[in-house]
Amino acid sequence: MSANLNIDDNLILLDQHAATKEQAIRLAGNLLVENEYVEAPYVDSMIERNKDVSVYMGNFIAIPHGTEDGKKYIKKTGISIVQLPFGVDFSEDPEVEKVVTVVFGIAGMNNEHLDLLQKIAVFCSDLNNVVKLADAQSKQEIIEMLKEVE
C-alpha cells in the first residue's frame, strides 16, 4: 500500500526551539499523540529507536519513528513536522555536529512508514527543499511543498 504525504496543518509546528534531540523528537511525537495518530507510549518508542539507530538523515533533517515494539501504539498512519530554525544537534559525538532544522515524526501502519521514509528522503535529498521547509513562514507553505512529493 502506498502512503501519501498529505499533511494536516494540526501536525505542523513552526518556529520551535528544542535544547536536545530528545526534546525535538518529543515535539514531533506529541503532535502525533495530540491528533490521535498514536498512543503516548509511542513517543518513548521514538526516543528508544534513536538510541538504537540514529534517526538523523543528513541534510539537516531527522525522521524519528518508533521501534518494532512501539508499533502496537499506532492508531493510523501519519506524519508530523517540527520546524527548528535554530537547529538542534543530533550527534552523539561532541566533535561531530549533526544539526537538524526539520523533524519529521512518522507513525506507519502495515509498514507504510517505509514508503513515507523513502518519499521524505528523496524530497529532502535536495538541500534547497530542506531550506524551504526550514524557512517556511506558514503551515500552508509546507503543506503545498509536500503535496508535490510523489
Residue 3 gets which letter from DSSP?
P
Q: Is 14 exposed, middle or buried (0-12, 13-18, 19+ CB in 10 A)?
A: middle
Q: Are 41 and 70 in contact (CB under 8 A)?
A: yes
Residue 65 falls in the annotated catalytic set: yes
Here the cell at position 116 is 513515507
Rounded-to-integer distance, Cα 139 and Cα 7, Å: 10
CB environment 73-88: b (16+ within 10 A), e (fewer): bbeebbbbbbbbeebb
Q: Which of 21, 49, 65, 139 is catalytic?
A: 65
Helix axes 21-34, 41-52, angle to 10 degrees: 150
Closest residue by Cα to residue 46 from 38, 36, 35, 58: 38
- The SS3 of residue 72 is helix
Which active-site residues does the annotation give? 65
